[in-house]
Amino acid sequence: MTTTAFVRGAARGATALRGGRFWRPTPFFVFGGLFWLLLTLAYWWVPMAYDYGLHAAMIERLKVSLLHPRHPLVDLPGAGSPYLLSPYAMVEGAFARATGLTGWEVMKLAGPANLLVLLTGLNRFVRTLTTRQWAPVLALLTLTLLWGTSSDWRTEPLALRSLTIDLGYPSTFAIGLAFWVWAGAWRLRREGARWAVAGVAVVGLVGLWPESDPASPHFPWLALIGLPPLWLRRRRDPKDPLALLCAAGIAALAYAALIHPSAYGAATLLTVVPLQLALAIALAAPRPWPRKRRALGALAATGAALGFLATALDPPPSWPAYTWAAQHIPPGDTVITSGYRPIRALPGYGPTLVAPARPDPVVDRADLDRRRAAVRAYLSPTSTRAERQAVTDRYRVHWLLLDRGERLPPEAVLVAWSPRTGEVLARVNGGTSRPG
C-alpha cells in the first residue's frame, strides 16, 4: 500500500465518522435567515402604529390578572371580550407578568418570534410538496411581493410593508402555525388515507382565525398569476394539496361573504397561498424552460416589480409616541380623546378610553354610538360645565387629550403638551397624576 493510498483512505474514514459529508446550508437557510434579520431590524425601527395599542393593552390587562382581566380599551370588566380569549394573548400576558416587561416591549419581542414561526412553517410546508431546493426561497418572494396590492393599492398582510408593522400581531403567528399544521396534515395524508385530519386542519383555520375587519375586504389580485400552474397541478393530480386548499379557500370566501364576514382573512389566506406556492414550485423547475414557463416567469417578474413599486410608494407610517402623556396618567384612568392616533395608541400604555375605535361584544354598536356622542358633547364649544360634568361623572373621566384645534375647558388643568403634534394633556374631575 502506497502512502498516497493510505492518506486517501484515512480521509474517507474520517469523513464517514462525521456522517458521510459536511453540512451545507440550504438556500432557504441563507436567504430566509437574511430575510429574518433585515425584517426584524425594520420592525424594531418602524414606530408602533394602527392596532399596536390594542394588542399592547391586551397584554397590560392580562399582566395584571390572567383570570379576570379588565377590558383592554374601556373601564369595564373584560369578560366576553374576544381580545382576551386568545391563547396567544394569554401567553404574552403571562410572559409580561413573569418578566415585568410592558405590553409595548412584549410586542417588540413577539415580532421576531412570530416571523421565525412563519418562515420555518413556510419552509416545512413547501418541502412536503417538492424536493426543489429553491422552491421555499421563491415561495417567500411570491408571498411578500405577489401578495401585492388590491384594487385600491392597499398592501395586504404578507406584503413587505405590512410585515414590518404586523409581525407582533397574532395573525402573523397564526399564518406560520397554519403552514406547520398543513405540512403535518399532508404528511399524515400521505402515510394513510387520513383525509379527516387534513380536513379538520383546514376547516379549523377558518374557525379559529383572529377576526379581520369585515368592512374593508381586499383581495390581492396579483396572486392570480399563480392560477395557470395551480390548474396544471390540478389536472395532473385531482388530489393535489394546493388545489384542495384553494378549493377550500373559495368555499370559505363564499362563507365569509354570505354568513360570517370576519372570516374573510382566513378565507383569503386559504385561496391565495396555494396560488403563490404553485407559482413558486413551477419557477423552481430546472432549466431549460419551455416557452410557456418562460412566459410565466416574465409575468411573475412583472408582478413582483409592481408589488415592490406599491411597497415603495406606500412607506411605513410615522406615528408619534404618547409616553409624554402616559407618564402622567395612572394605569386604568379614563381619558376623553377624539384623535385617530391616540384612540389607538394610548390604551397600550395603561389608560382606558370613553369611546374606543370599534365595537365588540362588551361595547356593542349601540353603546359605542352613545359613548362617541358623549365625547362629541363634551368637546363641543357650546357645551356647558354641567353637561361636561355629567359626562365625566358617567364614565369616571379624569383626563383629556386634546388636539391642537380643540378647546380646553376652563375647569381643566393643563399638565403636558407635545411639541411634535401640538396635542395637550389636561386633568379634570379631581384627577391626579401618577407619582414619580
Can you give the pLDDT at residue 125? 94
Which of residues 256, 280, 313 is at a domain's end? 313
Can you give the pLDDT at residue 191? 67
Can you give the pLDDT at residue 6? 40
- Domain region containing 360: 323-427
Note whether 216 and 342 are same-domain residues.
Answer: no
Phi/psi class of residue 429: alpha, beta or left (left: φ > 0; alpha: ψ in -120 to 50)?
left
Block mean pLDDT (10 aa), the chain, length 436: 43 48 88 93 84 91 91 90 82 94 94 94 94 94 68 42 74 85 80 64 59 56 89 90 88 83 76 92 92 92 81 72 93 93 93 92 93 95 94 95 92 93 92 74
Note whether 230 and 327 are same-domain residues.
Answer: no
DSSP assignment of 134-175 equals: THHHHHHHIIIIIS-B-TT--B-TTSHHHHHHHTTSHHHHHH
Measured between alpha carbons, how far is 322 from 29 in angstroms, rounded to an integer? 39
Note whether 276 and 152 are same-domain residues.
Answer: yes
Note whether 366 and 245 are same-domain residues.
Answer: no
144 within some domain: yes
Measured between alpha carbons, how far is 400 from 340 in angstroms, rounded to an integer? 14
268 within some domain: yes
What is the model's pTM? Answer: 0.85
Can you give the pLDDT at residue 19? 52
1 within some domain: no
Name 303's Cβ contacts closer than 8 Å, sequence gap at least 6: 145, 146, 148, 222, 225
DSSP assignment of 59-74 equals: HHHHHH-SSSPBPSSS
Which of residues 281, 313, 345 is at a domain's end? 313
Measured between alpha carbons, how far is 373 from 371 in angstroms, rounded to an integer? 5
Which of residues 283, 313, 343 is at a domain's end? 313
The number of distinct structural domains making up the chain is: 2
Can you give the pLDDT at residue 202? 60
Grid look-up 383569503 returns 268
Residue burial 379-388, b: 16+ Cβ < 10 Å; e: rest: beeebeeeeb
Note whether 278 and 344 are same-domain residues.
Answer: no
Range list of H helices, 65-134:
87-99, 103-129
Measured between alpha carbons, how far is 105 from 320 in angstroms, rounded to an integer? 16
Grid look-up 377550500 returns 248
Note whether 121 and 239 are same-domain residues.
Answer: yes
Note whether 82 and 212 are same-domain residues.
Answer: yes
Note whether 277 and 146 are same-domain residues.
Answer: yes
Single-letter residue type at 411: E
Name 182's Cβ contacts closer than 8 Å, sequence gap at least 6: 125, 201, 202, 241, 245
Note whether 227 and 352 are same-domain residues.
Answer: no
- The answer to whether residues 414 and 349 touch, using CB atoms and an 8 Å cutoff, is no
Name 40's Cβ contacts closer than 8 Å, sequence gap at least 6: 111, 112, 115, 167
260 within some domain: yes
**Which is it for strands 413-417 and 424-427: parallel, antiparallel or unpaired?**
antiparallel
2 within some domain: no
Note whether 265 and 332 are same-domain residues.
Answer: no
